[in-house]
Amino acid sequence: MENLQAMLQSPIPVLIDCFATWCGPCQMVPPILKEVKDKMGDQLRIIKIDIDKNQQLAAQWQISSVPTLLLFKAGRLIWRQSGVVPAHQLIPILKQKI
């Protein structure tokens, strides 16, 4: 898999879904992200990061609750949101940010 840092530095925005397997609301996010991907296509990349397997990243990004979405563009964190965001709300936010 491509190096995460290289991916974050890319001109293509990266939406990161920070989740945990034990988190109930996190189970609601994958279908939302599928809809986002279907509507936005190659305008952004979407990756999932399990905070229990990546505790150093979770600490670096100060993830205190899951699910948390992070949007990076050219290496900078430009937007973050904790909690479940429905696709019809998330897509306009992402389009505005990128």
In tens, the pLDDT along 58-90 reads 999 999 999 999 999 999 999 999 999 999 999
pLDDT score for 2:
56
| Cα gap 44→63, rounded to integer Å | 22
pLDDT score for 72:
96
Domain with 38 in it: what CATH number?
3.40.30.10
Residues labelled catalytic: 23, 26
Going by pLDDT thresholds of 50, 70 and 90, the confidence category of residue 12 is very high
The number of domains in the chain is 1
Residue ranges making up the domain that contains 76: 4-97
Q: Please name the helix (run of DSSP H) or strand (run of DSSP E) that holds residue 90, with its range, or none.
A: helix 87-97
pLDDT score for 66:
97
**Alpha carbon of residue 64 to chain centroid:** 15
Mean pLDDT of 7-34: 96
Query: Is 20's pLDDT higher than 60?
Result: yes
The pTM for the full model equals 0.94
Query: Is 1's pLDDT higher than 50?
Result: no
